Amino acid sequence: MDNSTIGSTIGAIRKRNGTLDNFNMDKITNAISKALAATSEADHDLASELAHGVVKKLVQQGFSISIPPSVEDIQDMVESTLIESGHSEIAKAYILYRHERRKIRDEKLRLLNAKALDPVAKSFDLNSLRVLASRYLLRNNKGEITEGPSELFERVAVLISVGDLLYDSELFDKEGRHPQDVGEARGYLDKLDSFDCKFKIGNYYLNKYHFRALINHYVTLAGKGQMKVGFKDLLTQIIAKRHNNYAERISEYYELMASQDFLPNSPTMMNAGGRLGQLSACFVLNMPDDMGGIMKSTSDAAMIFKSGGGVGINYSDLRQEGDIVASTSGVASGPVSFMNIINTVTEVVKQGGKRRGANMGIIEAWHPDVEKFITNKTEAGILENFNVSVGVWEDFWQALAGPGEGKYMLRSTAGKPVREISAHQLIDLIAHSAWKSAEPGLIFFDNINKYNVLAKAMGGALRATNPCGEQSLYPYESCNLGSINLARLVKRKADGEFEFDWQRYEEMIRKTTRFLDNVIDVNLYPVKEIDRASKESRRIGLGVMGVADLLYKLRIPYNSKEGYDLQSKLAEALTYYSMEESVALAKSRGEFPLCPQTEYPEGKIPVAGYYELARDEHTYDWDALIDKIKRHGIRNALTTTVAPTGTLSMLADCSNGMEPSFALVFEKRVTVGKFFYTNKIIAQILKEHGLYNDDLLARISENYGSLRGLEEIPEWMQKIFVTAMDIHWSDHLMVQSVWQEWIGNAIAKTINMPNDVTADDVKASYLLAHELGLKGTTVYRDGSRHKQVLHMASENSEKTFDVYPSLYISEYVEKIQDRYVRTEVNAALSSGPTEEAPTVDLNITETVPEEDLCPTCKNHLVFSEGCSTCIECGFSGCTSG
């Protein structure tokens, strides 16, 4: 009996909510397959044969097209068929599977405050839904969830498609030859409630906030003479269904997110189609040395926090503490005091009413208050809402590595010499502070500006980044970010192994580049200067997540030559295709307004790999792309960023960003006891090889979540399934460099170090990071943040392995031309692990400082990608993910 015969015999199935759906025998086969797999008898042919037996029994019981069976009828029939055919063990496994599914379904319904599960709720696992429920789903004034997961993604998709609609060739002319009455359109902003869900595209309704975005987007374009029709004519066309073809675009965006292939940054999912309407993750503000400017930036920061964003500020233009203020004859309080003001504002203004904001505070190495700034956060409770970084330029590296004693001049904000210090002592101070508390980070402004094509148009260098450091921005620019889940872009070969789907990757990059370009247009920015600056540069940040899981599936070690080569190609493809798609958008929509004033028309691009890697190491024809940019311009000033994806990765059920897995197994404790959380890929591998059991999971957990050094684990598994703690810190830097060569903006990456490293190792990591061309670095020594925050192991935890640099990084270091850097790095790499590495008690039994607890659910935070993330509810200390 084939599927067509079955369809004509049964036809439909009655779902639990009473509605009918098409009968699909494959679902029965898959359910039986899972039961077979649970008994270690995986056999698809047998599952298919048994499923046919189930259908025959359904027909014998009188079910037909006119009398469709219910879900429960089919499940009961599966049980009886398995028992009657002599498969009692499989029947037992199926009954347990059915019971577990019922438990999960009931928990999902409770979690979502729902009577039925929508398609996304059915497909997402419980952990992903917990994050959706705690952070993203809309709630009423009683705090009750009022939308389902599918409605969330539809809400976002409809808003994003509004960006596409107004660029339709029937409506839009990029040459700007059509003056319109924008006042007519603005008038509708005063009567949004009257137009809530009055217009629709296909079967998708525009709520009043979608309608607001349509108005604002129209006003922007019409203000430049680019709309061919008046606003009322546009509405008439929508009512007449002339633009219903954009329903397909809405469905496309919906599927990108609902399939877990791609997710935009958190504010987009929180606010798209909602009251706030603010879609950007983060912003940069300036901090001029005058009270009016300081208060303006403070007010702007408050509005940003209220809207759901984070802020990066360079405080170096503020005069040093104790300096005389000429206008009042008073004494300046210094940059750190003004950071405390922003810290207080962050504390009292919750992001979007949901959580505290995030900040990046920067002081450049030449500033007289730099030493106080460096040591300020080594104690708990100071500037809790800040990440802090020291910005360094060429002159610092010249003093550090050049001839002489390393003397370095600190200077006033006016450029006058203040006092001389030792560059060696300053970097030692930075390294010791980071060794102790994981802060400050270092930002390499010389590397950031090396290929900065915007400097000419913006009147100077980039001097600030967003809170997690991956996006360098000019004042009032915004981060508009999204991440592709690489772990899903695989396909099975004939031998059952996986291979990467490069064609689908290209398609995904092109779609998501357009998605993020639309974000710029339909965004409701919190400050008018941000609206203007964001639309002048149209900077976006397309990135990735799931890299570690992808490498697991492909059986490629993360820190191997093969791993580095694949990641380089992934990064190159990301930027190449996103820039190529941005050129295509420029042809139809227009280049970003500042483009003619930049270095793009001169044939320059913000991609280090194009200049620094030999042509035979390039996979794509970059010269052809540059020629296209010179002829047509480009839509987005920069297109790629690898941002933190802690929360997004939980939603997409994959590993964070381009980070290695933090741990393959770790212990989670709940009120009723404890259980082991296991990476799904390694769990499947262990089961396939008969190794999966609680005793082994406990041993892996006690081994820092690593397989390394465990006798019962085959060597090939130990090599492939590596964790962050299996990888030497120098290889963490190398893999960040591999991505940075091709990424236009920067990378959110944590350089993990074991507890027993020294401050000299930290210093060596800075030197190597700068040499590798990184734009910044964050070092995290295990246990350095007052207490280890993740329950990775029991009190008996002990690492059974040592970690060494790969041959790949060792060979690179030997080729470093700067003798000082090569000597310092070599000394750190050759020192090796200590003979008796001290172990860290990862089993917290005493009170953990408040800063290490999630402010939402009070569970423990994990530090990754330069950002703290809660593995229970999805809270992130960074705003992008």
**DSSP label at 614?**
-
Which two three-digit tokens encode residue 848?
Answer: 């953990």
Reported in sequence order, the residue ranges of 207-341 that DSSP labels E, i.e. its strands, are 262-264, 282-285, 310-314, 324-325, 330-331
Q: How many CB atoms lie within 10 A of CB 299?
A: 12
The answer to whether residue 872 is catalytic is no
Before 440, cis peptide (omega within 30)? Answer: yes
Helix (H) or strand (E) holding 325: strand 324-325
Q: Which backbone phi and psi does 471 adopt, to 5 degrees?
A: -130, 105
Rounded CA separation 434/378 (Å): 8
**DSSP label at 134?**
I
Of the candidates 751, 782, 753, 752, the one whose C-alpha atom is nearest the C-alpha of residue 769 is 751
Which two three-digit tokens encode residue 123?
Answer: 């497909």
Rounded CA separation 605/610 (Å): 8
What number of H helices and E strands is found in the chain? 34, 25
According to DSSP, the β-strands at 386-392 and 359-364 are: parallel
- Please name the residue ranges forming H helices in 61-148: 71-84, 88-112, 119-123, 126-131
The answer to whether residue 466 is catalytic is yes
The radius of gyration of the chain from alpha carbons, rounded to an integer in Å, stands at 28
Of the candidates 843, 844, 880, the one whose C-alpha atom is nearest the C-alpha of residue 865 is 880
Which two three-digit tokens encode residue 437?
Answer: 């508390």
Of the candidates 353, 320, 354, the one whose C-alpha atom is nearest the C-alpha of residue 135 is 354
| 779: amino acid identity, one letter | V
- Coil, strand, or helix at residue 243? coil
- Coil, strand, or helix at residue 79? helix
Q: How many CB atoms lie within 10 A of CB 295?
A: 11
Rounded CA separation 14/71 (Å): 6
Rounded CA separation 874/546 (Å): 16
Which two three-digit tokens encode residue 66?
Answer: 């006119």
Phi-psi group of 303: left, alpha or beta (phi > 0 → left; psi -120 to 50 → alpha; rest → beta): alpha
The answer to whether residue 17 is catalytic is no
Rounded CA separation 472/704 (Å): 34
Which two three-digit tokens encode residue 273?
Answer: 């189609």
Write down the catalytic residue from 265, 286, 314, 466: 466
Q: Are the beta carbons of 546 and 485 closer than 8 angstroms?
A: yes
Write down the catalytic residue from 154, 364, 470, 741: 470
Active site residues: 466, 468, 470
